Amino acid sequence: MRRTVVAGIGAVVFWAAHAVETARWREWFAGAYDPWFLNSGRAMIFTLGCVCIASALVTWFDSVPGRARGVPIGVGATAAMAATLFVKASGPGTIFPIALVAAAVMLLFSSLAGAWAVSAIRPSTSPPR
């Protein structure tokens, strides 16, 4: 798969997770603040879990075994997160640079973890050089 398609998958996964969080914010995530995945521990686990699972699935179904797809998924999710942060009704807030960096690190780590887990289970079938 092309990296742009994989990054698009990461963006769609983040937006889907954010849509679920927004729809069920009070019931599922016990959120006291605006719906945002960093505002609730449950929402963080949900979003990072969705990104990790998406990365694992993309890596599993990739046409070239052994090539991890974690970085493009994480980049796509991070881009979607930044866009979502700036178009929220309440705005990005005063500490948005810290939120951007912290969230980007978490999303990239989560996507790399999913790709790494599948790469460890499904080793490359290409011949050694």
**Residue listed under structure tokens 């990461």:** 10
Taking CA atoms, 10 is separated from 2, 16, 34, in Å, by 13, 10, 23
Is residue 128, in this structure, part of any structural domain at all?
Answer: no
Contact between 35 and 25 (Cβ < 8 Å): yes
Is residue 55, in this structure, part of any structural domain at all?
Answer: yes
pLDDT at residue 124 greater than cutoff 80: no
How many domains are contained in the chain? 1
Is residue 113, in this structure, part of any structural domain at all?
Answer: yes
Contact between 43 and 18 (Cβ < 8 Å): no
Is residue 127, in this structure, part of any structural domain at all?
Answer: no
Is residue 63, in this structure, part of any structural domain at all?
Answer: yes
Looking at residue 74, its pLDDT comes to 94
**Residue listed under structure tokens 């963080």:** 44
**How does pLDDT run across 80-122, given as a tens digit for each residue?**
999 998 887 677 778 888 989 999 999 999 999 999 998 888 7
Q: What is the DSSP string of 29-75?
A: H--SSSS-GGG-HHHHHHHHHHHHHHHHHHHHH-SSTT---HHHHHH
Taking CA atoms, 62 is separated from 48, 91, 123, 126, in Å, by 21, 37, 12, 14
Taking CA atoms, 72 is separated from 18, 58, 102, 111, 126, in Å, by 19, 10, 18, 9, 22
Q: Provide the residue range defining the domain that includes 70.
A: 3-121
Is residue 126, in this structure, part of any structural domain at all?
Answer: no
**How does pLDDT run across 33-43, given as a tens digit for each residue?**
888 888 888 99
Looking at residue 125, its pLDDT comes to 54
Is residue 11, in this structure, part of any structural domain at all?
Answer: yes
- Using CB atoms within 10 Å of the CB of residue 27, give its burial: 0 to 12 exposed, 13 to 18 middle, 19+ buried: exposed
Supply the pTM of this predicted model: 0.86
Is residue 39, in this structure, part of any structural domain at all?
Answer: yes
